[in-house]
Chain A
């Protein structure tokens, strides 16, 4: 028997149970810990291959139920997702917020993202795409400030528009192919048809919204910046994997078709714009979390560019960079959370934290070097692969932009490091710092993530071995003249 659906069903059931345990703090705490442990085991229980609910191709191949596809590449993504989710849940245990709501929403988010990554039928993908936007807004509302409500409402209004347009795109694809199953739909797309162009374009709108590519980068960055540090770690994980999931589906459907080349260019342009906008906006920020939020957008651009190249190497590099980015950016957001427990996140009011938390500072420095692409950390490995993929299709200008953006990232990261940890401060501030405790669970999560940064940086084949098969299946080799 195949237990694959448990990846989606188990977190949903736990989310409902957590919701019923309102007010019973101890029970919620123990159950959260147990769930966090089980989440890590979940990606290993499913078998590879297709999984169909309620049959497939019942009458002349017209009616078919929910379909999932599980393979090593998707397994690697879900392993990372479950790791981050359980670390964030464990960190959240030490925090006194409306505890069970946070756990409920995170688990719903986990279920939706795994469904988006696994989905092999478009409507299932759409349903969870909508759920994830409610979940993200809800996680932001948890911080309870007025700014958070504004950011969440903005996100939901734009989100409803983008989701409705994406559903219209799905309608177009359904009208021109007669099926929603992705593997079946591929066979009907060979002839070009204006309706299919419309469907593809509207799918790209949904992709840009779900992953914070331009023109949606501002609302997405606002969303990250307004929530608590460890919740932002969760939120940016969600959007990176939405990007990977949707992009893999678009590539699986259209890659290699003659009319895909212009959409190809649009996707690459979106990725490059996200890279540049993100890093330029980040250089201007004086709020630490907002700075990190714009870097999350910028790194999303790297992932989108790599995947949009559409070659096997580009796809591997894109997914690998998504995984690496999720790891080090979560570490950075957790670092921001630890700092904000001392004194907010305004860079001009912080300083002199190095003697108080030398280990945290060291781990955050490792994550900062990783995001700027310095060897031997994991960011270097995937950025190198991305540049290589761009050179392979004869687009050296993309590799150059990637390197320039990396330099911008390094500059703003080091500026933030100086302002938070090294800048000298007066006696009074030091006393204020000493009165407040460091959340120990967050430091533990930070340690695990930093260790992963170094391990993957030393041996990237730990992850890339999982990715090559699927990338060769959906990727197409080509070279521009």
Chain B
């Protein structure tokens, strides 16, 4: 019950992200979610797409360094306090959250978050047992 995230090495210089976005545009690839973690010299761009294998190939062919990681896509009721309850659950079970970012959809009552943890299996078990909904790569395709 994970989704595939592609991470890409991008230099932290003017125009680099645009160059990258141009490749997606030319190959007709749509990003579902994205996030950048940066240092003064470079950034790690993390993206979620519908067809990660195709996108990873396009990225590598264009000469970028990229990797594919399994991450959690967590459904969160769109109301105050719901993120807190999930974070509490993760923290209490001693699962370290490496990073997280929002995943916009057109669903009215649910927000989605991408969460990167070291122990996916343990996190899936804890969250599922506590009624938190996770979505798979296939379900991702149906979300709009």
Same complex origin of A and B? no
Chain B residues with a Cβ under 8 A of chain A: none
